[in-house]
Amino acid sequence: MLISPIAHIEAIDRHMLNHALIAWEHKMGPWRRPEYGTPWFHGLFHNGTLIAVTAAAPLITEKVCGLGRADAIELGRVCAARPHLCRPMLRLWRELLFPNFGHSWAISYQDAVLHRGDLYRFDGWSQLGKSSSGTDARSGLKGRKKVIWGWRLPGAVSETLDDEIVEFVRERVADERRQFCLFERSAPE
């Protein structure tokens, strides 16, 4: 006896993505990015019901942590109907979808105030840096402090360059941590 699949991933359109982001109350809201190339929207379905989404697109800025648009794409949204579904959606995106996009790196920004970074850390991503954005010209919302996470596709053509970038960033992050620790120790009680 044949049974239909319990779960599957498929490409979705912007309307379906935004409907899910709004319904599930994603903190960044619907996807309103300007087009810098073709975006990739995907949904995870369980028994025909959409339960998780991802949205990825070319980098907005020319470079992020030394990675250019030819090297990396940005995973701009991971959202699910229930919190514990984000982790399997991220893993499936990284393992099954991202390798088809033709880039050696994926980066994602984590809001440092709202999240601890566990989603990316537990999935094996590397912390590449930190950033703080200014006021969003589209919404007028004040920018947030963010952590930049990166995933390198194993066996990517530019692995030597990528190793140099990761080592440089790790050294920079370690320096920042040392400075922060020194600052904390010297602060008056």
What domains, with CATH codes, occur in the chain? 7-186 (3.40.630.30)
Instruction: Select from 53, 63, 57 the least CA-distant residue to 33.
Output: 57
Beta strands in 137-178 (DSSP E): 145-152
Q: What is the pLDDT of residue 130?
A: 82
This prediction's pTM? 0.76
Site of tokens 């990015």 = 33
Asked whether the predicted pLDDT for residue 5 surpasses 60, the reply is yes
For the stretch 144-173, pLDDT in tens is 788 889 999 887 655 445 566 666 666 655
Tokens of 98: 């991202």
Instruction: Select from 127, 172, 117 the least CA-distant residue to 149.
Output: 127
Helix, strand or coil for residue 88?
A: helix
Tokens of 136: 């969003």
How does strand 7-11 pair with strand 40-46? Answer: antiparallel
**99: which DSSP letter?**
G
Mean per-residue pLDDT, 176-189: 43
